[in-house]
């Protein structure tokens, strides 16, 4: 029997991170270690490890865990940062790159990063500029494989936080998604469950290189992951 794939998860408190933990309940082919600064409720039946530490020690923990794949779902919003751009950058830029550098130093073969649709240095949005800056910096670290996911609006139940605009967007998404065709399909909303399945499918890919996954590419990766379970 093959050794389980060792995955380290950063961002376990968010929607995507929690969903990823739920997807791995009952799976023996993955060994998950989540690293966080505060305690996170684990899904019922979860068989995984949770390491709690200040972010300044996350690199040390990655060195101890020696993961094959590092999944980074870290992120905040300008609203949660109180409108402070430096506080936002400290998480979405500085902390992400700190984790990535530590992952590269410990020999992780693959880094999977949850970015955002529209991420670009040329964007007029500060949020998307920072995401674009991080994507460019990650490419320079030269992981054997780098996967960048660019989801649109994430659908799912967030715990412990209320995002009014996002909630309204989720309610309207069935209609707005129908209006997004062609090159605009990448802006369609996507369930966090499918993003998590896409990440797990990508973690099993052997090819090296840098890959950017927009909406349709994430759906394909999620379908491939699901199909393997039924083989």
| Per-residue pLDDT at 62 | 97
The string of DSSP codes covering 48-105 is: -EEEE--GGGHHHHHHHH--SEEEE-----TTTTTT-HHHHHIIIIIIHHHHHHHHHH
| Per-residue pLDDT at 103 | 97
> Per-residue pLDDT for 230 more than 60?
no
Total domain count for the chain?
1
Q: How far is CA 225 from the centre of its chain?
A: 16
Q: What percent of the chain has pLDDT over 70?
A: 89
Helix (H, G, I), strand (E, B) or coil at 152: coil
Q: What percent of the chain has pLDDT over 90?
A: 76
> Per-residue pLDDT for 42 more than 70?
yes
The predicted-structure confidence for 72-116, as pLDDT tens digits, reads as follows 999 988 888 899 999 999 999 999 999 999 999 999 999 999 999
| Per-residue pLDDT at 227 | 84
| Per-residue pLDDT at 183 | 86
> Which residue is it, tokens 């923990």?
61
> Per-residue pLDDT for 189 more than 70?
yes
Half-sphere exposure at residue 137, Cβ-oriented, CA atoms within 13 angstroms: 19
Q: Which CATH number do you get for residue 114?
A: 3.40.50.720
| Per-residue pLDDT at 40 | 87
pTM above 0.85, yes or no: yes
* Band of residue 150 on the pLDDT scale cut at 50, 70, 90: very high
> Which residue is it, tokens 């955002």?
116
Range(s) of the domain holding residue 44: 5-229
Between CA 196 and CA 23 the distance in angstroms is: 7
Mean pLDDT for 12-34 is 95
| Per-residue pLDDT at 184 | 87
| Per-residue pLDDT at 156 | 86
Long-range contacts of 14-17 (CB under 8 A, 24+ apart): 14/73, 14/74, 14/75, 14/158, 15/154, 15/156, 15/157, 15/158, 15/192, 16/73, 16/114, 16/154, 16/192, 16/195, 16/196, 16/199, 17/71, 17/73
| Per-residue pLDDT at 176 | 74
Max CA-CA distance within the chain?
A: 51
């Amino acid at each position: 029997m093959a050794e389980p794939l060792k995955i380290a998860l950063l961002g376990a408190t968010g929607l995507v991170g929690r969903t990823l933990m739920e997807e791995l309940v009952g799976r023996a082919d993955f060994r998950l270690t989540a690293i966080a600064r505060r305690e996170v409720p684990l899904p019922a039946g979860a068989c995984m490890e949770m390491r709690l530490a200040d972010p300044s020690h996350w690199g040390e923990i990655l060195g101890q865990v020696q993961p094959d794949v590092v999944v980074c779902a870290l992120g905040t919003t300008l609203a949660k940062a109180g409108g402070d751009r430096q506080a936002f950058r400290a998480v979405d830029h500085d902390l992400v790159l700190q984790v990535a550098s530590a992952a590269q130093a410990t020999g992780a073969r693959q880094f999977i990063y949850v970015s955002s649709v529209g991420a670009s240095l040329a964007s007029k949005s500060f949020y998307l500029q920072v995401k674009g800056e991080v994507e460019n910096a990650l490419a320079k670290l030269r992981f054997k494989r780098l996967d960048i996911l660019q989801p649109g609006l994430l659908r799912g139940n967030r715990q412990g936080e209320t995002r009014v605009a996002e909630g309204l967007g989720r309610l309207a998404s069935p209609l707005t998604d129908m209006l997004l065709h062609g090159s605009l399909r990448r802006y369609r909303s996507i369930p966090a469950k499918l993003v998590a399945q896409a990440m797990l499918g990508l973690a099993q890919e052997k090819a090296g290189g840098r890959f950017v996954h927009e909406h349709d590419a994430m759906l394909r990766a999620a379908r491939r992951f699901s199909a393997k379970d039924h083989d």
